[in-house]
Chains A and B, each alone.
Chain A
Amino acid sequence: MKDLLKALPWIGPAVALIAAVVLFPVGLMFWNSTRDISQSGVDDGGVGLANFATVVGFQYFWPILGRTVIWVVVVVACTLLGSLALAALLNKAFPGRRLVRMAVIVPWAASVVMTTLVVHYGLEPYFGIINSFLVDIGLIDTPEGYGWTRHAGTAFAWAMAVAVFVSLPFTTYTILAGLQTVPGETVEAARIDGANGVRTYFSVVLPQLRGAISVAVLINIINVFNSLPILRVMTGSIPGYDADTVMTMIFKYMQNQRQIDLASALSVIAFLVVIGIVAIYVRAVRPLEEV
């Protein structure tokens, strides 16, 4: 006990900050999800689980949930495959490698909002530069291009592409760190045994990347599930709910409809989903074993 008191001045502020700005709002969110809160913010008493019933009963709830699963699975899978290839390249020596590594950092450091904005502009009909490029190389026949951002399906697909693009740097660097721990001897031994490059990669290198890959996938799942800005910019101006994920829906409840009680209920569902995914994942893959 004396030891704990001695530690308090050192760790106390950190505990206080986490308690006040992470744990307390979690509790408040759970509490609010069972209340009836008016649009002006007045608490009109408890309603049990009625908010959850309203949120789940919303006619677009299940499509939104399904789309969220697609969003997470497709983005994380494509990110992982792309990063494995990128990391394999960046781990090989060639003149200019440092420059390429630096370029790969840029989408990581840059604001996701701003990266998405430039893609959104590029996809505009008439003056968008991506549309113009697609017309120039003959992929699109109409001179004004195609209204990618006007239709829920295509806007969502482009949003997934942007999500992969901004997730690649972190994932690539994590796998790169893993690759650098693969002992050269194991690779050479495989070569001597007559395995070619591809075979060596799949049977010797890839299994040793398990730790790096599982951490990268876990963090990507959390990030992609929680991602708001890409869809907000890309599909936010499309009416209806055909391009929404759970996260954009929470913000629609909160901002467009000013229903903080419903937003809280959906947030609680999202929160539990994230915790559930993390728990299952950590049990199955044990990515945090060595922390």
Chain B
Amino acid sequence: MTAITDSATTPRKVIRPTSGNGRRVRKYTADQVPIGSLLLRMFAGLVVLVVFLLPYLIMFFGSVKTKAEIRSVDPTYFPTEWHWENYATMWSTPETPLLQNLISTLVISVCATLLVLAVALPASYYTARFRFPGRLVFLFLVIVTQMVQPAVLTSGLFRQFISWGILDTWAAMILVNAAFNLSFAVWIMHSFFAGIPKEVDEAAQLDGAGTFAVLTKINLPLVWPGIVTAVVFTFVASWNEFAASLVLLSTAGNQPLSVALTKFVGQYETSWHYVFGVSVVAIVPVVILFMAIEKRLVGGLVAGSVK
């Protein structure tokens, strides 16, 4: 877990370089910074900030324009009038049932996340705590899944779900999202469980607690940050999944927003303001979730190798 701690010095410490108390391990950051290079860094930082937010600002400004304004041959950078009512009217656009698409996205993501949690939590706990024959085989299997993505397997999944009779259902996409996000969840939670001293478990077992009680009462509170990371990651990945949904879900109402929104492209008169309004609604919550786990974003498979 050392890879994931935020060990760089805080800005405050640099402005007052003499106050270094040596408590934190000093990393690759200069302590005494001339004001000139500090300003240069701030300027570079500002450029980066603008570049990374620009597409989403265009999206946001576009979402409150009228259709006439967003399709005007003399485009405006900022909306001349702010039409917040777009956020209410966009749900009844004829191209696709957007409200149903939002519900599909939500149901698929929530169920896939719950399934991952139910399956990955016990597996990561057991492999971190106990040695058993096949343990390494299992961990290898998990790494291999990390290398495979649903896009390359869609033709197989398509035929498989036909024969299971669940093609074009939420269940199919819940299974796909759960299976392909399992490896990350197992790895990140595995590394958290492995970080708890075994003595903690043994002490509880001496007091008569069974394996299940040790997991739920002793370990869970300690690995909570790992669980949150796994949950957020799985949820956001399922929320944005595109390739498998595109092939496996054919009924408009079953499709997630990622697939539904592509239908606007190439239309005779694309309602871009609605596309952007829905995008803002879909992007804001997951960005907030990702920001909440910012310090642990580099995890799972990467955690071990970026020591």
Interface string of A177-203 (1 = CB under 8 A from B): 111111110010000000000000000
CA of A27 to CA of B163 in the docked complex: distance in angstroms? 14
Distance of A220 from chain B, by nearest CB (Å)? 12
Chain B residues lying within 8 Å of A289, measured Cβ to Cβ, are 305
CB distance from A242 to the nearest CB of B (A): 17
In the complex, the answer to whether A212 meets B55 with C-beta atoms within 8 Å is no
Asked whether any CB of chain B lies closer than 8 Å to the CB of A56, the reply is: no
Stretch from A64-72, A73-81, A107-115 forming part of the interface with B: A107-115
* A-binding segment of B154-162, B195-203, B222-230: B154-162
* B59 sits at the interface (CB 8 A): yes
Contact between B155 and A127 (Cβ–Cβ < 8 Å)? no
CB-contact partner of A17 in B41, B55, B155, B182, under 8 A: B182
Q: Decide yes or no: A11 and B155 within 8 Å by CB, A93-B14, A117-B279, A226-B149 being known contacts.
A: no
Question: Does residue A275 face the partner (Cβ distance < 8 Å to B)?
Answer: yes
Tell which of A13, A101, A128 touches B119, judged by Cβ atoms closer than 8 Å.
Answer: A13
Q: Which of A7, A232, A264 sits near B126, CB closer than 8 Å? A: A7
A178 to B182: give the CA distance in the assembly, Å.
Answer: 25
Q: A93-B9, A212-B306, A263-B155 are in contact. Are A113 and B240 (CB under 8 A)?
A: yes
B268 close to chain A: CB less than 8 A: no
Interface range on chain B (Cβ under 8 Å from partner): 35 or more
Total chain A interface residues with beta-carbon distance under 8 A: 114
Instruction: Specify which of B4, B52, B282, B301 is in contact with A219 (CB 8 Å cutoff).
Output: B301
Contacts of B156 in A (CB 8 A): 24-29, 32, 264, 267
**When A111-B257, A267-B154 are in contact, do A105 and B182 touch as well, CB less than 8 Å?**
no
Q: Using Cβ atoms and an 8 Å threshold, which residues of chain B touch A212?
A: 302, 305-306
Contact between A92 and B41, CB atoms less than 8 A apart: yes
Inter-chain CA distance A96–B46, complex, in Å, is 9
Q: Quick one: which of B19-47 are within 8 Å of A by CB?
A: 25-30, 33, 38, 41-42, 44-46
Hey, which chain B residues are within 8 Å of A251, CB to CB? 154, 243, 246-247
Residues of B within 8 A of A28 (CB): 156, 159-160
Instruction: Determine the main DSSP class of B at the interface with A.
Output: helix
* A100 touches B (CB below 8 Å): yes
In the complex the two chains form, is A215's CB within 8 Å of B306's CB? Answer: yes
- Return chain B residues, CB-CB under 8 Å to A187: 28
Question: With an 8 A cutoff between CB atoms, is B88 at the interface?
Answer: no
Given A22-B145, A111-B257, A117-B265: A17 and B175 interface contact (C-beta under 8 Å): yes
B99 within 8 A of A: no
**A179: nearest chain-B partner, CB-CB:** B28
Inside 8 A of A102's CB, which chain B residues have their CB? 291, 294
Whether the pair B7, A180 counts as a contact (CB closer than 8 A) is yes
Q: Shortest Cβ distance from A284 into chain B, in angstroms?
A: 15
A-facing mask of B138-149, CB < 8 A → 1, else 0?
Answer: 100111010111
* CA A122 to CA B57, docked complex, whole Å: 12
Are A22 and B29 interface neighbours, CB within 8 A? no
Q: In the complex, A182 Cα to B3 Cα: how many Å?
A: 11
Q: How far is the CA of A254 from the CA of B264 in the complex (A)?
A: 21
**Within the complex, what minimum Cβ distance (angstroms) separates A22 from chain B?**
5
With both beta carbons as reference points, the residue of chain B lying nearest to A200 in the complex is identified as B28
List, in ascending order, chain B residues with CB within 8 A of A184's CB.
Answer: 25-29
Q: How far is the CA of A49 from the CA of B226 in the complex (A)?
A: 46
Given contacts A118-B59, A181-B307, 20 further A-B contacts (CB under 8 A): A7-B135, A17-B179, A18-B141, A21-B180, A25-B153, A91-B8, A91-B29, A105-B297, A111-B257, A114-B258, A121-B272, A180-B3, A226-B243, A232-B246, A247-B151, A255-B247, A260-B159, A271-B153, A274-B148, A288-B304
A residues lining the B interface (CB < 8 Å):
1, 3-4, 6-7, 9-11, 13-15, 17-18, 20-22, 24-29, 32, 41, 86, 89-97, 99-115, 117-122, 126-129, 132-133, 144, 165, 170, 173-174, 176-184, 187, 205, 211-212, 214-216, 219, 222-223, 226-229, 232-233, 236-237, 247, 250-251, 254-255, 260, 263-264, 267, 270-271, 274-275, 278, 287-291
| Those 7 A-B pairs whose CB atoms lie nearest each other, nearest first | A25-B156, A29-B156, A21-B179, A10-B126, A109-B290, A94-B41, A291-B304
Q: Chain B residues in contact with chain A, CB under 8 A? A: 2-11, 13-15, 25-30, 33, 38, 41-42, 44-46, 48-49, 52-53, 55-56, 58-59, 62, 70-75, 77, 115, 118-120, 122-123, 125-127, 130-135, 138, 141-143, 145, 147-149, 151-160, 162, 175-176, 178-180, 182, 186, 236, 239-240, 242-243, 246-247, 257-259, 261-262, 264-266, 270, 272, 275-276, 279, 282-283, 286-287, 289-291, 294, 297-298, 301-302, 304-307
